Amino acid sequence: MRIHILGICGTFMGGLALLARSLGHHVTGSDVNVYPPMSTQLQAQGIELMQGYSAEHLQPAPDVVIVGNALSRGNPAIEYMLDAGLTYRSGPQWLAEHVLPERWVLAVAGTHGKSTTASLLAWVLEDNQLAPGFLIGAVPENFGISARLGDTPFFVIEADEYDTAFFDKRSKFVHYGPRTLILNNLEFDHADIFPDLAAIERQFHHLVRVVPGSGLIIDNATEPALQRVLHQGCWTSTESFNRAPGWQAQLVKADGSVFDVYFKGELQGRVVWDMIGQHSVSNALATLAAARHVGIPVANALESLARFKGLKRRMELRGIVNHISVYDDFAHHPTAITTTLSGLRQRVGEARIIAILEPRSNTMRMGVQADELTNALQDANQVWLYQTDNLGWDPARQITLPENVLHVRQRVADIVEQVAVDAKPGDHILIMSNGGFDNIHQRLLDRLQENRHDA
């Protein structure tokens, strides 16, 4: 089958392309945002990438066009596809039809931590010889790819609440039919498609409705929105984490790198790993519950967590120059920014943290969460914010940090130059964006290296 994917470099669609290729299909794709790690991952698998959305990309006609949810009416490729009467599907529908039938689907949903928790879960299954398939919106270092078919019935998927396609406005995750469902957390996000938190809760309830009675729902007991979702109706057994009598953690080290795990009040063992932050501890508890549901002894899963290597773009250390560390992180929501900075602060103590933020998500560009950023950035000593042309709010006015802390710039080159000059040995530079950010990470490392040679 010849498949062409519109929006192929999105994290979900790129993973879908890898799965389709593994099934033996000939896969090509179009996009306007082509950057690593997804672009290099696809090219390494022999998948042809085409720049832009030209009608010519659909000539001759593929057997099916898979349409990403970023595309809408008026797009040249979409208009040609409809006029020509081509067969098309959304990514989630194609996945449900061709990959997920007869699989034991383990889905991870929530506003934050989906990629990390799905990666943790896939790794724990892998490390215990269950060889799962997976589709994750990031690249786990233990695997080096974001998706694979797997050799067993188990399939781990990051379950996103964003809408499915221009012709299907349901959340993606209602297509997946999970048997094991993790509900990590739930806050307001995606202001471009959801009017309020209640609308997102309704979509999560639709997900709860498709989990079989013989399955398991694992919920974060400290999240009021999730409890409201479950109170709308639940027909499946549940296990909670972060509250007795469910799964709990007792920190041995404040940064979350060492903690003891309890289930129903009984000590299960200790985790010693490279991850940091309370959010990482919560992700681990959810993972342990899901792994136990598929038959993995808790003691085995605890040992597997210690061998987890993390994800690309999740507190990924990109390099150290002259004792200055540069990290790349996907944080783009105030809560994620808070937890990421807090975890780093716990690890580095009094060392200086320089935060560089690109408000890139639709919600952030609209300014819906702008007033929350002041508190979210408190653990940073210096904050550099990239003010893009399409930013719908004034960061200098709405982020009320001291003038000597907050620096707003309209050119990435200016941020690179000024941070490189200001940075000192022992500093930690944390770059946060859910996009490519004009390759700022490597540009900054290169500039720091030049400064070192000039000194």
Give the residue from 277, 305, 333 where a domain finishes.
305
| Whether 115 and 210 share a structural domain | yes
* Residue 454 pLDDT exceeds 70: no
pLDDT of residue 138: 82
Give the residue from 305, 325, 353 where a domain finishes.
305
Report residue 409: phi and psi, to 5°. Answer: -135, 150
Asked if residue 51 is part of any domain, the answer here is yes
Which residues, 6 or more positions from 139, have their beta carbon under 8 angstroms from its beta carbon?
37, 41, 145, 146, 311, 312, 313
Span 198-229, pLDDT tens digits: 999 999 999 999 999 999 999 999 999 999 99
Can you tell me whether residue 124 is helix, strand or coil? helix
| Whether 298 and 322 share a structural domain | no
Asked if residue 95 is part of any domain, the answer here is no
Asked if residue 151 is part of any domain, the answer here is yes
| Whether 379 and 292 share a structural domain | no
How does DSSP classify residue 372?
A: G
Which residues, 6 or more positions from 227, have their beta carbon under 8 angstroms from its beta carbon?
219, 221
What CATH number has the domain bearing residue 213?
A: 3.40.1190.10
Percentage of residues in the chain having pLDDT higher than 90: 67
Answer whether 148's CB lies under 8 Å from 221's CB: no
Neighbours of 44 (CB within 10 A): 11
What CATH number has the domain bearing residue 338?
A: 3.90.190.20
Answer whether 356's CB lies under 8 Å from 386's CB: yes
Per-residue confidence at 37, pLDDT binned at 50, 70, 90?
A: low
Which residues, 6 or more positions from 68, have their beta carbon under 8 angstroms from its beta carbon?
5, 6, 7, 8, 10, 12, 13, 91, 165
Domain ranges, residue 379: 316-454
What CATH number has the domain bearing residue 22?
A: 3.40.50.720
Rounded to an integer, what distance in angstroms lies between the CA atom of residue 432 and that of residue 156?
26
Span 392-425, pLDDT tens digits: 788 888 888 888 899 989 899 999 999 999 999 9
Give the residue from 305, 327, 354 where a domain finishes.
305
Classify burial at 433, counting beta carbons within 10 Å of its beta carbon; exposed 0-12, middle 13-18, buried 19 or more. Answer: buried
pLDDT of residue 35: 66
| Whether 222 and 164 share a structural domain | yes
| Whether 123 and 223 share a structural domain | yes
Calculate mean pLDDT across residues 287-295. 98
| Whether 296 and 369 share a structural domain | no
| Whether 202 and 182 share a structural domain | yes
Can you tell me whether residue 231 is helix, strand or coil? helix
Asked if residue 311 is part of any domain, the answer here is no
pLDDT of residue 22: 94
Cα end-to-end span (Å), the chain: 58
pLDDT of residue 43: 84
Rounded to an integer, what distance in angstroms lies between the CA atom of residue 454 and that of residue 78?
52
pLDDT of residue 330: 79
E strands, 256-405, in order:
258-263, 266-272, 316-321, 324-329, 353-357, 382-386
**β-pairing verdict for 64-67 and 2-6:** parallel
| Whether 230 and 368 share a structural domain | no
Asked if residue 28 is part of any domain, the answer here is yes
- Choose the most confident range, by mean pLDDT, from 19-28, 35-44, 358-367: 19-28
pLDDT greater at residue 304 or residue 111: 304
Percentage of residues in the chain having pLDDT higher than 70: 96
Asked if residue 348 is part of any domain, the answer here is yes
pLDDT of residue 455: 52
Calculate mean pLDDT across residues 66-87. 97
| Whether 291 and 173 share a structural domain | yes
Span 101-113, pLDDT tens digits: 999 999 999 988 8
* Residue 193 pLDDT exceeds 80: no
**Domains in the chain: how many in total?**
3
Half-sphere exposure of 137 (CA within 13 A, CB side): 20
Span 57-72, pLDDT tens digits: 999 999 999 999 999 9
| Whether 352 and 249 share a structural domain | no
* Residue 451 pLDDT exceeds 80: no
| Whether 74 and 178 share a structural domain | no
pLDDT of residue 434: 78
Asked if residue 129 is part of any domain, the answer here is yes
Mean pLDDT, the chain, integer: 91
| Whether 210 and 282 share a structural domain | yes
Q: Give helix 114-127 / helix 298-305 axis angle, nearest 10°.
A: 120
Rg of the chain over Cα atoms, rounded to whole angstroms, equals 22
Asked if residue 195 is part of any domain, the answer here is yes
